[in-house]
């Protein structure tokens, strides 16, 4: 397996400038990554940089805990679509999840999933195993195509990869048939393989270039 095909090459650094985003896009084109994941303000630039490259423009919406109002979330997603996004990576309202407001979460996500193909970030580091499964069930009901662990900048991304691997298996139980995206602390080719073996279909990482270099060295 060529890992480039499953990597969403990520630059969500709040300090990133235009030249940094362009560099990320150039790297994505060179290695033929699955996509480039960026913050909303860079969607138009990323879309223009990736035209005809076969690399998706993916936008991160409402980190770190999905606390914006429903109307604001819909507005952000529609603007991302207008600017050229191919996919949404949107954070579920994690506070609603913790308080069991499942109907509110489902209503919010159902409308958003109609805008663009959607991955929903459940913030697995904040949740119990039971909540991870329930969150994954909601994501499937909402019409998303993928359930995602967390963002790279999630405050609780200190959890070990072995724990994350367990989360992926629970997510698969809760949302059979959906793709699973793992993100956070995936820094090496070995890390990537661990996540794939645990059930990940897509990998989110800002270290895609280093992972590809490691992969190519191992192939020699």
Catalytic residues: 89, 148, 181
- Local structure of residue 124 (DSSP, 8 states): G
Q: What is d(CA 141, CA 106) in angstroms, rounded to the nearest whole number?
A: 7
CA dihedral 14, 15, 17, 20 (to 10 degrees): -90
State the alpha helices, DSSP H only, in the chain. Answer: 18-31, 43-50, 70-83, 94-98, 102-113, 129-142, 161-174, 189-198, 208-219
Count of Cβ atoms closer than 10 Å to residue 128 Cβ:
11
Q: What is d(CA 22, CA 182) in angstroms, rounded to the nearest whole number?
A: 24
CA distances from 28 to 70, 108, 178, 212 (A): 32, 32, 25, 11
Is residue 38 a contact partner of residue 21, using CB atoms and an 8 Å limit? yes
**Tokens for 141?**
């009901």
């Amino acid at each position: 397996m060529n890992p480039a095909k499953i990597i969403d090459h990520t630059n969500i650094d709040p300090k990133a400038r235009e030249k940094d985003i362009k560099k990320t896009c150039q790297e994505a084109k060179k290695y033929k990554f699955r996509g480039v994941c960026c913050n909303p303000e860079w969607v138009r630039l990323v879309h223009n940089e990736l035209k005809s490259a076969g690399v998706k423009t993916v936008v991160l919406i409402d980190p770190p805990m999905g606390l914006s109002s429903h109307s604001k979330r819909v507005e952000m997603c529609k603007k991302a679509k207008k600017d050229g996004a191919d996919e949404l990576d949107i954070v579920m309202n994690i506070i609603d999840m913790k308080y069991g407001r499942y109907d509110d979460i489902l209503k919010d996500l159902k409308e958003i999933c109609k805008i663009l193909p959607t991955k929903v970030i459940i913030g697995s580091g904040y949740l119990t195993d039971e909540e991870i499964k329930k969150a994954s069930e909601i994501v499937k009901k909402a019409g998303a195509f993928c359930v995602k662990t967390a963002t790279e900048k999630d405050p609780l991304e200190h959890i070990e990869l072995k724990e994350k691997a367990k989360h992926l298996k629970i997510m698969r139980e809760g949302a059979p048939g959906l793709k699973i995206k793992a993100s956070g602390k995936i820094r090496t080719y070995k890390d990537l393989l661990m996540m794939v073996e645990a059930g990940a279909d897509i990998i989110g990482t800002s270290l895609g270039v280093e992972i590809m270099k490691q992969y190519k060295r191992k192939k020699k």
